[in-house]
Amino acid sequence: MNMAKWGKNLFILISTAIFVNGHAWSAPPDTSPQGFAWKDSAEIYAKICAYCHEAQVAPPIRNRSLPPEYIRAVVRNGNRAMPAFRASVIDDESLAKLADFVSKSETGY
């Protein structure tokens, strides 16, 4: 077997091993260097806000035309039992969009 062919076979062998490894033993590891990032405001709303604000734990906040500045301030400072959310959890840009989303929202999310 010449070297080039051997190299090709080795490549196939390794990639098969990776494939098998990925599927039979474990899920492929998350290799994204950035880690987690929110997809959009709807996701943030569903995965943070809705657990209380759509579950009779805290007052509804959608469809009330709450001013976005007010929403941003409450998210950052908290309000009585409502926890404050840090920029490391919801970054400034996402929060600006989320505040608009909550303020303007009409139906569904």
Nearest by Cα to 81 from 58, 56, 47, 48: 58
Output the smallest distance, CB 36 to other proteins, in A.
5
Which of 27, 60, 106, 107 binds other proteins (CB under 8 A)? It is: 27
Per-residue binder mask for other proteins (CB under 8 A), 35-74, x = binder: xx----------xx--xx--xxxx----------------
Q: Please name the amino acid found at residue 80.
A: R
Among 20, 75, 81, which residue's Cα sits nearest to residue 49?
75
Measured at the CA of 103, the angle between CA 97 and CA 109, to 5 degrees, comes to: 75
Find the binder of other proteins among 41, 62, 85, 99 (CB under 8 A): 85
82 catalytically annotated: yes
In sequence order, the β-bridge partners of residue 79 are: 82
Of 22, 45, 27, nearest to 95 by C-alpha is 45
Exactly one of 82, 84, 87, 99 is catalytic; name it: 82
| In the complex, least distance from residue 87 CB atom to other proteins, rounded to whole angstroms | 7
φ, ψ for residue 79, nearest 5 deg:
-155, 110
Residues that bind other proteins (CB under 8 A): 24-30, 32, 35-36, 47-48, 51-52, 55-58, 76-89
The catalytic residues are: 81-82
